[in-house]
Amino acid sequence: MDPLPAFGLTLLLISFLGIRFRVPPIFNLIGGALFLGILLGMPPDQLITVITSGLGRVFALFALIILSGAIIAATLEEQGHIERIVKDVRRYSGNPFTISGLSGYLLALPVACSVTAFIILTPVIKGLGGGEYRRRMLLYCVAVGSLISFGLVYPAPAVIPLVQSLAPDLPPVWYDALAIPLSLILLAGFVIIYQRWFGCGKIIPDDKTAHCGEPPESSMPCAELDLRPYAPFIAILVAIPAGLALGLSHGALIQVIMLVGAMTALAMATPGARAGGLQRGTKHAGIIIFDICGAGALAGVILASGFSETMSGQITGIVPLLLVPFILASLIQTAQGSRVVTAVLAAGILAGTPVAAAINPAALVLMVAAGCFLFSFVTDPYFWIISRVTGEDLSGMIRYYTLPLALCGVALYLVALGIQFVTAGW
């Protein structure tokens, strides 16, 4: 079968199995890899070898990073350090919407998972006060803030494969010099949206006494600075120049600094918190890692079959070249819901193709990232987690989660398009 219809049928199968039967992502994606390989006519032995090799590549890339992040998160949570970090942020801003969005943005990076950041912060953010409606809006701020940093800032797992495969000659520091200001601008915009349009703009009975811009709490005592909650993050920052001085590549550096952060978190923890954090972190990381490894299986089939070159030519014959990364990422994201999986698959498909060669590397990474935001709906696991936590119905989730993220995706694509036009002299 031709690659394009084969890939389309594979996406439909993954979507159907995920939505109708809630098949776990690891099995769903491996099943998709088998299905695609059969449609493309790959010999059975080669197909199984390619799938297992793809699993191994993704495990090697992400296992240590995600495990370290999960251990950091669980260890800090065991000791109540997350609450302390949020309180420290609150000293500099009395606006609960800003606190919520910024907390999600900051925590998603070192813990290497936006969902983990949301779950950890949920009880803390609910304690910021206000009525039930406003608490829901604050949780949406956390979710969107975590997704913005997770989807845009290196070294988030959703960004690593994009930068390494689509912009190998672009130093991650230079990429972040663009991505961090851009992501903070987006975050500020969404804080305003949730506060003004969804928050204060709608007053319901139990919110009448809630204010969107309370001043910092003057009654909060000025406690001595406690660096223990920040020790893993400080260790990560210190390890960066040390690793560069040792001549580590960017791929090796991110592995080392995350391991240093996890070791620091465990070393600074109490014995009980160390044991609990290690147990909970390892369990949570295992679920995430194996789900992502399924994407490696599907990406392996795509790479081994020569599918990328054939399909890129077919797609460019249908849509404009500058829309290919955006549309491709949005289709993959819609089909299976995981941003890391989308990044792995999109990077595998686009790397080395004429599409990648024709687009500025930074713009290309942003175009794929933009596609990951476009349609976050029922295949997105985060969608259902937020729905359960907030008690929101389907229409509310579309209004407060899906549509704002779609707006973010469109805005990101326009920025990427602008970068392409400026750098290409169009």
Q: Give the tens place of pLDDT for each residue, 73-107.
A: 899 989 989 888 888 877 777 788 999 999 999 98
Instruction: Tell me what the pLDDT averaged over the chain comes to.
Output: 86
Distances (CA, A) of 362 to 312, 329, 410: 19, 16, 16
Q: What is the pLDDT of residue 17?
A: 86
Within 10 Å of residue 267's Cβ, how many Cβ atoms? 12
Q: What is the 3-state secondary structure (H, E, C) of the chain?
A: CCHHHHHHHHHHHHHHHHHHCCCCHHHHHHHHHHHHHHHCCCCHHHHHHHHHHHHHHHHHHHHHHHHHHHHHHHHHHHCCHHHHHHHHHHHHCCCHHHHHHHHHHHHHCCCCCHHHHHHHHHHHHHCCCCCHHHHHHHHHHHHHHHHHHHHHCCCCCCCHHHHHHHCCCCCHHHHHHHHHHHHHHHHHHHHHHHHHHHHCCCCCHHHCCCCCCCCCCCCCCCCCCCCHHHHHHHHHHHHHHHHHHCCCCHHHHHHHHHHHHHHHHHHHCCHHHHHHHHHHHHHHHHHHHHHHHHHHHHHHHHHHCCHHHHHHHHHHCCCCHHHHHHHHHHHHHHHHCCHHHHHHHHHHHHCCCHHHHHCCHHHHHHHHHHHHHHCCCCCCHHHHHHHHHHCCCHHHHHHHHHHHHHHHHHHHHHHHHHHHHHHHCC
Residues in the chain, how many?
426
**In the chain, what are the domain boundaries?**
3-205+228-424
On whether the CB atoms of residues 32 and 10 are closer than 8 A, the answer is yes
C-alpha to C-alpha distances, 178 to 110, 152, 373, nearest whole angstrom:
19, 10, 18
Instruction: Give 199-256 pLDDT, tens digit per residue.
Output: 654 433 344 344 444 444 434 444 566 788 899 989 998 998 899 899 988 889 889 9
Name the one residue in this structure whose structure tokens are 């690891």. Answer: 26
List of the chain residues with pLDDT < 50:
201-222
Per-residue three-class SS string for 135-160: HHHHHHHHHHHHHHHHHHCCCCCCCH
Instruction: In whole angstroms, give the CA distance from residue 71 to residue 110.
Output: 10
